[in-house]
Amino acid sequence: MFNVLRQSLSTGVVTTSYPANPAEVSAQARGRPEIDWSALKDARAAAAVCPTGAIAIEDAAGQRRIEFDLAKCVFCGLCAEVDPAIRMTNICECAAAGRDDLVGRATYRLNRDGTHAEMVSRPAAAGKSPLELARDKASREALGLEIKARTQKMLGRSLHIREVDAGSCNGCEVEIVGLNSPVYDAERFGVHFVASPRHADMLLVTGPVTRNMELALRKTYDAMPAPRLVVAVGACGCSGGIFGVNYATRGAVDAVIPVDVYIPGCPPNPHALLQGILLAIGRLPKPG
């Protein structure tokens, strides 16, 4: 007993200071791809190697329309290997409240050989997320306390989460388990995982929704008391990912139940999960 206490005191605090400070992510970690749209000379190679169709092109009337869907991206990096205008980053905080917020579109006028002559339209600059706005309004040190206070005011207690594996490979589950570790410690925000949807305020859904799990997911959602939140986790939860829609899966979570926040990644790390959960809390309706 005393040895355990002595070891704990000598180790000190290991919990990350996120979101009071930026996420501490290794420079070698693989996050979202970043496209330099002005330097993109020919998107055909990147679209051809993308395993999930996250980069899609459509040619018509001498123009090429390019769509980059972060919800489908598995961060494999194949596109960056074939196109110098694309680079992999270690940015993991990619959660969005709207599905379309994860999609960037650009249009180019084409040369005769199919390369890009000039850009006609570029993706709109992404607006700040509610989490970023909260950081601007209040100091980083107070953000966690603000979120906890808002949750308690709205729900009258801590935020309770029911996690549902609708057909994932368990990669996302490994990261979700990490939320309860001393390093990330989701309970410091008043966030607790529960076994019953009747005790839950938020549904955390992973994987493409398999047809065998579709009814179970609907019943779980219906069993939750209002107000209720749904967070789709990972590329599979956001879009169907590598599996898409087929004889065995319905694809994205929002094909079965309404989704409030999308957390892309394959899998999203605990920092990304925390950002998505905090973003979802910000979407709770105001009391009264």
Per-residue model confidence as pLDDT tens digits over 91-120: 988 999 999 999 999 999 999 999 999 999
State residue 142's pLDDT score: 56
What structural domains and CATH numbers belong to the chain? 130-281 (3.40.50.12280)
Residue 66 to residue 45: CA distance in whole angstroms: 12
What are the tens digits of pLDDT across the range 165-218? 999 999 999 999 999 898 898 888 888 999 999 999 999 999 999 999 999 999
Residue partners of 184: CB distance under 8 A and separation at least 6? 15, 16, 18, 178, 270, 271, 274
For residue 277, give the nearest of 207, 178, 186, 196 by alpha carbon. Answer: 186
Report the C-alpha gap between 115 and 128 in whole angstroms. Answer: 33
| CA–CA separation, 193 and 159 (whole Å) | 8
Structure tokens, 235: 């590329």
Q: Residue 126 — very low, low, confident or very high, per pLDDT cuts 50/70/90?
A: very low
Q: How confident is the model at residue 153 (pLDDT cuts 50, 70, 90)?
A: low
- pLDDT at 140 (0 to 100): 46
Contact 129, 94 (CB under 8 A): no
User: Residue 231: its pLDDT value, please?
Assistant: 96
Contact criterion met (CB below 8 Å) for 280 and 158: no
pLDDT at 20: 77
Q: Give pLDDT tens digits for 25-57.
A: 888 888 999 999 999 999 999 999 999 999 999
- Predicted confidence (pLDDT) at residue 4 exceeds the cutoff of 80: no
pTM of the model: 0.86
CA distance 70 to 56: 11
What's the CA angle centered on 210, arms 209 and 212, to 5 degrees?
130
DSSP assigned state of 58: E
- Rounded distance, CA 228 to CA 60, Å? 43
In sequence order, the 6+-apart residues with CB closer than 8 A to the CB of 138 are: 146
pLDDT score, position 285 = 53
Pairing of β 63-69 and β 261-263: unpaired
pLDDT at 28: 84
Confidence of residue 10 (pLDDT cuts 50, 70, 90): confident
- Count of C-beta atoms within a 10 Å radius of residue 10: 7
| CB-count burial class (<10 Å; 0-12, 13-18, 19+) for 79 | buried
Q: What percent of the chain has pLDDT over 70?
A: 86
| E strands, the chain, in order | 33-35, 55-60, 63-69, 86-88, 103-110, 116-121, 159-165, 191-193, 202-206, 229-233, 261-263
Overall average pLDDT of the 146-168 stretch: 75
- Count of helix runs (H) and strand runs (E) in the chain: 9, 11
Average pLDDT over residues 262-280: 92
Percent of the chain past pLDDT 90, that is, above it, reads 64
CA quadruple 138, 188, 148, 164: dihedral sign: positive
**Dist. CA 23–CA 12, nearest whole Å:** 19
